[in-house]
Structure 1
């Protein structure tokens, strides 16, 4: 049986992962994600930090689905079908889509909960947490400092390598 890896061997370092701040807008977040797609990096989420004095603390995770759900909630306050019958370019000129992407990230994020792993933990710990909690993204800490992220696709690649 192959030796189990440590989380730090599978994680995506923060330096290679999209990051925004809680005070940024969804428009800012979309631009950050687009930048990472141009660089051939396939991320569907980003880490959200908040500034507290001179420190930056991890505030939560923002996924593509969170962005879309927020836009939906802000634009579809009337007939649910109306958004899809309008041209996006025409609709953007209206206030609802423009206002929805002006929403602060802190209003759309998934706040951090107790699920995270440390860099020196075995990958099996990350797998157990992801499977039992039904999550696809797991922050990685070194002590109290966030240093990376483990995604479900990273776990799947690891399992595939074991086969």
Structure 2
């Protein structure tokens, strides 16, 4: 079997849900829901890509971004990315006390959604780091290394330093299953 390249597994940018970074959370959620209902892909999309006024991809809005956007008080935490991860030794009691002390989710979900829906995509999106880009000509093994070492769920695929698609961890899993069969 010929060695697969990232471009062989990626979802082209033209097939991926996108929103302007100037849109609000409601628009991002609607696009993500529309992508979830798309039957072309076995695996459902877990994010939408955000683009700037020049059409350049500048970020991703994932499920996690959406939930964090609903409760702006998460911004008070020094490093909100690590909260709740038991592998870092946080006990359930500690996390519960943190939630209570910061009054996180002290409103109903409906109230939080109404308020959060007005937030701009650029204020809630994840801005990818250098380790979240992979060239379309790279071998699949390179993408695997980036997924594992960076703990990512997806990588932006580039051609001539322009985003042309997305490769997801689930797409690599499908390849492994195909090879095993």
TM-score, normalisation: structure 2: 0.75
Equivalence for 1:125:
142
Kindly report which structure 2 residues correspond to 1:1-163, keeping only aligned pairs within 5 A, or say none.
2-40=1-39, 41=41, 42-51=44-53, 55-73=54-72, 79-80=103-104, 82-83=106-107, 86=108, 91-92=110-111, 96-115=112-131, 116-163=133-180
Deviations 1:17-76 (CA, angstroms, capped at 9, x unpaired) = 11111101000001111112222351111111111xxx3211111101110111033699
TM-score, normalisation: structure 1: 0.83
Gaps of 5+ in 1: none
Q: Secondary structure at the match of 1:160?
A: helix
Pick the structure with more strand per residue: 1
Runs of 4 or more above 3 Å deviation: 74-83
Deviations 1:82-125 (CA, angstroms, capped at 9, x unpaired) = 44xx5x5xx35xxx532211000011111121021111111111
Q: CA deviation at 1:157?
A: 0.7
Cα distance between partner residues in 2 of 1:12 and 1:81:
35
Gaps of 5+ in 2: 75-98
Q: Secondary structure at the match of 1:110?
A: coil
CA RMSD of aligned residues (A): 2.2
